[in-house]
């Protein structure tokens, strides 16, 4: 197969090496809202109300780690006309009032008997009715962050129909703004540098857990805000899964150490992995690594405006089949990312998403080449009018070695 090779490109080309301004301008939020309102109209929705941290943040800029507490629900209503309205627990009202929103309503939560439901209902009832439909986070790749019993009470007592708003919400978030892309590029650059520095910091006979601790601290030092996702798994010639760990396993000669990270800057994620050979790499593992490296090149090249996610999958999958893949339990070969570690679309057969400019995507080919021996590569890209551009520093073609 003909392969277009990408020179190592750095996020620096997007950010100029500077740390992006934290937060977003009111103009940015106006732009997001205008886009959202066009989409609401196309979906015949009078409004959506959102409850989950990334959706609340997308429309308001509200940033908090307090989402770790499951006690209180939070709501933001995005109407088809006018600015979003926050309906939040009193504990969050002072900070929500500092966002670009004008209308912040609150109640003295927690109040189990009525934790914001009557206030949310009154807010929704006052939204001008055109279609008689309100969207909520009821569908794919979303969870409703409120008690389902409360949701059903609201649904049954609201004068308008509540329908699945997730297709509309994902349509809003699927295409990133330039400011969002600069955020993602920055965290990709931080994690790229830390991955490159890792072999010098660890050695054979250390544990997976120790490797993660060092990488986690290094990523924080370089300016990441958090690292919610950093699985590390090691095994002879590959690993049998890529989502759990680290454990206390000691790195041994012949292992491949797989590390993935979703670290964040100002709310935005990177999501890419690296593989390290411990001591030596078997010729078979090296062959598979090379095939995956080429599959990644091809996957990046395929992610052009107008292509579908199915095509991106097919392009990469051809390399995996040719290399003798016996499986891959990941279920897809990449996905969107942004305010979440993974977002739609998925590079998989049947996904059918048409790729457009300003989508940010992972290119993630992986294959099991022998039972229990899986290798997975991953890079992050942004789709531009000139084609795909790497946000990560491209993984070296030869697997880095830890001694």
226 binds a copy of itself (CB under 8 A): yes
Packing angle, helices 166-174 and 26-42, rounded to 10: 140
Scan residues 285-344 and list those touching a copy of itself (CB under 8 A). Answer: 329-332, 335, 340-343
Contact region for a copy of itself (CB under 8 A) — 37-45, 85-93, 172-180, 308-316? 85-93
Task: Compute the residue count for the chain.
Answer: 403
260-289: which residues touch a copy of itself (CB under 8 A)?
Answer: 262
Q: Which stretch binds a copy of itself (CB under 8 A): 34-42, 65-73, 190-198, 385-393?
A: 65-73
- Comparing CB distances to a copy of itself, the nearer of 6 and 67 is 67
Q: What's the count of helices (H) and strands (E) in the chain, helices before strands?
A: 11, 19
Nearer to a copy of itself, 82 or 223 (CB): 223
Per rule CB under 8 A, is residue 13 in the interface with a copy of itself?
Answer: no
> 82, 110, 305, 400: which one contacts a copy of itself (CB under 8 A)?
110
Q: Contact, 27 vs 148, CB < 8 A?
A: no
Q: Which helix (H) or strand (E) holds 277?
A: strand 272-278
If binding is defined by CB under 8 A, does position 144 make contact with a copy of itself?
yes
Shortest CB 172 distance to a copy of itself, Å = 16
Which of 9, 83, 93, 290 is the binder for a copy of itself (CB under 8 A)? Answer: 93
Residue 49 within binding range of a copy of itself, rule CB under 8 A: no
R_g of the chain computed on alpha carbons: 22
Whichever of 63 and 290 has its CB closer to a copy of itself, that residue is 63
> Does 353 sit near a copy of itself (CB under 8 A)?
no
Q: Within 13 Å, how many C-alpha atoms sit on residue 5's CB side?
A: 8
Q: How far from chain centre, in Å, is Cα 67?
A: 17
In SS3 terms, 160-221 reads as: CEEEECHHHHHHHHHCCCHHHHHHHHHHHHHHHHHHHHHHHHCCCCCEHHHHHHHHHHHHHH
CA distance 44 to 170: 15
Q: CA torsion angle for 214, 218, 224, 227 (degrees, to 10)?
A: -10
One residue of 2, 7, 16, 65 binding a copy of itself per CB under 8 A: 65
Site pattern 122..141 for a copy of itself (x: CB under 8 A): --------------xxxxxx
Contacts (CB under 8 A) with a copy of itself, residues 175-214: 213
Measured distance CA(166)–CA(53) in Å, rounded: 14
Distance of closest approach, residue 113 Cβ to a copy of itself, in angstroms: 9
Q: Judged by CB, which is closer to a copy of itself: 189, or 294?
A: 189
Of 280, 296, 317, whose CA–CA distance to 399 is shortest? 280
Binding window for a copy of itself (CB under 8 A); candidates: 34-42, 86-94, 179-187, 299-307: 86-94
* Residue where the block lists tokens 């797989």: 258
18 binds a copy of itself (CB under 8 A): no
Closest alpha carbon to 134 in 38, 46, 36? 46
Residue 156 in the binding site for a copy of itself (CB under 8 A)? no
Q: Which positions touch a copy of itself (CB under 8 A)?
A: 22, 62-66, 68-72, 89-95, 108-112, 136-149, 151, 164, 166, 213, 216-217, 220-221, 226-231, 240-244, 248, 262, 329-332, 335, 340-343, 346, 348
């Amino acid at each position: 197969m003909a392969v277009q090779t990408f020179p190592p490109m750095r996020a620096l080309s997007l950010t100029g090496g500077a740390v992006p301004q934290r937060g977003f301008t009111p103009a940015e939020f106006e732009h997001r809202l205008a886009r959202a309102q066009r989409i609401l109209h196309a979906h015949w929705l009078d409004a959506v109300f959102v409850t989950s941290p990334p959706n609340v943040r997308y429309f308001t800029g509200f940033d908090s780690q307090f989402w770790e507490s499951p006690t209180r629900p939070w709501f933001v209503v995005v109407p088809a006309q006018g600015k979003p309205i926050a309906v939040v627990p009193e504990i969050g009202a002072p900070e929500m009032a500092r966002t670009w929103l004008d209308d912040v309503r609150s109640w003295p939560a927690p109040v189990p008997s009525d934790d914001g439901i009557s206030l949310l209902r009154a807010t929704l009832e006052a939204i001008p009715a055109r279609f008689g439909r309100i969207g909520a986070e009821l569908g794919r790749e979303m969870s409703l962050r409120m008690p389902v019993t409360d949701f059903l009470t609201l649904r049954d007592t609201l004068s308008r129909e509540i329908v699945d708003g997730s297709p509309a919400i994902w349509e809003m978030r699927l295409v990133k703004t330039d400011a969002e892309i600069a955020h993602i590029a920055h965290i990709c650059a931080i994690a790229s540098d830390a991955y490159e520095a890792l072999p010098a910091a660890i050695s054979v006979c250390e544990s997976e857990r120790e490797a993660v601790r060092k990488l986690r601290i290094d990523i924080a030092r370089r300016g990441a805000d958090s690292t919610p996702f950093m699985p590390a798994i090691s095994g002879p010639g590959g690993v049998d899964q890529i989502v759990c760990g680290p454990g206390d396993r000691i790195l041994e000669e012949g292992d491949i150490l797989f590390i993935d990270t979703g670290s964040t800057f100002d709310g935005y994620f990177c999501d890419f992995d690296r593989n390290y050979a411990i001591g030596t790499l078997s010729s078979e593992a090296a062959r598979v690594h090379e095939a995956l490296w080429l599959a990644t090149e091809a996957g990046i090249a395929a992610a052009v405006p107008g292509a579908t996610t199915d095509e991106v999958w097919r392009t990469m999958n051809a390399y995996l089949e040719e290399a003798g893949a016996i499986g891959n339990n990941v279920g897809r070969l990449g996905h969107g990312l942004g305010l979440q570690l993974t977002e739609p679309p998925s590079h998989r057969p049947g996904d059918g998403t048409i790729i457009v400019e300003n989508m940010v995507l992972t290119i993630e080919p992986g294959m099991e080449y022998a039972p229990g021996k899986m290798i997975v590569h991953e890079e992050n890209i942004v789709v531009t009018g000139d084609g795909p551009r790497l946000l990560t520093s491209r993984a070296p073609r030869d697997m880095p070695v830890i001694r």
